[in-house]
């Protein structure tokens, strides 16, 4: 399988791959002349939640988000282009155990044990590549851990504003906002995951058993300790 192989991840972080994204489907989610902020992270690190929060922030300022928020490419090249063009960059991170488990639950059939083990190693490999690059650019970006992103998004917006001198509208955390965000995520993606709730980027009781089973395999991977160390280094101020 090419996707989620080491070769795939290396290609995905190349300028060649980034140039291929100049098609209609991706033109509004990669860095362009109208981009106001780059929001990137490893998959399943609250990328969609953060996007919806900043989308709402812009709407409260009377701005349409289209083409203004670069996101969901999940590559270090996107980060590089944001920094190069002096665009605010917000990087999202989540502990590797939960991030990898959530990723595999969304995209893969977990019945083939040997295949799952290979996917775990390859995903940890990419996690390490991605956040090594983030670590090298910590002084030029804002970093938000998963828990902060979904619970204290007012602080996330404030941190971006203070770091880059921007004026994104701060949204005070409240249940109404969160319910609205989760509803939009579900509406936009439910059909894409064959109406399987555990594959959505929202909290779900249905994920817990599978995450637990995957967790035991992830912890046994030879790459897990390295990923965990990188995670701790990135979130340290």
Please indicate, yes or no, if residue 1 is contained in any of the structural domains.
no
- pLDDT score of 41: 98
CB 18 within 8 A of CB 75: yes
Question: Mean pLDDT score of the chain, rounded to an integer?
Answer: 89
Who has greater pLDDT, 192 or 4? 4
pLDDT at 105: 86
What's residue 202's pLDDT? 61
Whether the predicted pLDDT of 79 surpasses 90: yes
Strands (E), the chain: 37-41, 69-71, 89-93, 142-145
pLDDT at 33: 94
Residue 39 lies in a domain: yes
- Asked whether residue 219 is domain-assigned, the answer is yes
3-class state of residue 15 by DSSP: helix
* pLDDT one-digit tens code per residue, 152-187: 999 999 999 999 999 999 999 999 999 999 888 888
**What average pLDDT does the segment 200-213 reach?**
66
Count of the separate structural domains present in the chain: 1
- Is residue 125 scored above 70 in pLDDT? yes
**More confident site: 6 or 13:** 13
> What 3-state DSSP class applies to 91?
strand
What is the average pLDDT across 61-79?
Answer: 94
17-31, 144-158, 180-194: lowest mean pLDDT where?
180-194
pTM of the model: 0.90
pLDDT at position 1:
44
- Give per-residue pLDDT as tens, 86-113: 999 999 999 999 999 999 887 666 677 7
* Rounded average pLDDT over 35-40: 98
Distance between CA atoms of residues 103 and 211, nearest Å: 10
Q: Which of 25-29, 50-54, 81-85, 137-141 bottoms out in mean pLDDT, i.e. has the lowest?
A: 25-29
Whether pLDDT at 120 is above 80:
yes
Phi, psi of 37 (to 5 degrees): -160, 145
Residue 232: closest CA among 127, 152, 83: 127
Looking at the domain assignment, is residue 220 inside a domain?
Answer: yes
HEC secondary structure over 39-70 = EEECCCCCHHHHHHHHHHHHHHCCCCCCCCEE
Query: Residue 193's pLDDT is what?
Result: 46
In a domain, 176, yes or no: yes
Per-residue pLDDT, 212 = 76
Would you say residue 21 lies in a domain? Answer: yes
Q: Determine the structural domain holding residue 74 and report its residue range.
A: 6-235
Q: Indicate whether 160 belongs to any domain.
A: yes
**Residue 49 located in a structural domain:** yes
User: Residue 194's domain is classified under what CATH number?
Assistant: 3.40.50
């Amino acid at each position: 399988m090419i996707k989620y192989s080491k070769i795939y991840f290396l290609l995905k972080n190349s300028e060649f791959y980034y140039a291929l994204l100049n098609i209609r489907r991706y033109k509004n989610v990669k860095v362009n002349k109208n981009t106001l902020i780059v929001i990137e992270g490893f998959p399943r690190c609250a990328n969609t939640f953060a996007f919806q929060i900043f989308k709402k922030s812009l709407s409260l300022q009377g701005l349409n988000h289209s083409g203004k928020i670069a996101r969901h490419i999940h590559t270090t090249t996107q980060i590089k282009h944001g920094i190069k063009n002096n665009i605010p960059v917000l990087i999202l991170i989540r502990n590797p155990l939960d991030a990898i488990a959530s990723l595999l639950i969304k995209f893969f059939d977990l019945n083939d044990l040997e295949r799952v083990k290979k996917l775990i190693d390859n995903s940890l490999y990419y996690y390490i590549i991605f956040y090594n690059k983030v670590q090298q650019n910590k002084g030029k970006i804002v970093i938000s851990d998963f828990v902060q992103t979904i619970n204290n998004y007012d602080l996330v917006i404030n941190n971006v504003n203070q770091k880059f001198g921007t004026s994104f509208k701060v949204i005070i955390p409240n249940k109404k906002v969160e319910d609205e965000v989760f509803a939009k995520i579900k509406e936009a993606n439910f059909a894409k995951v064959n109406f399987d709730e555990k594959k959505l980027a929202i909290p779900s009781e249905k994920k817990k058993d599978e995450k637990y089973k995957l967790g035991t395999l992830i912890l046994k991977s030879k790459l897990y300790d390295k990923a965990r160390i990188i995670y701790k280094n990135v979130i340290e101020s």
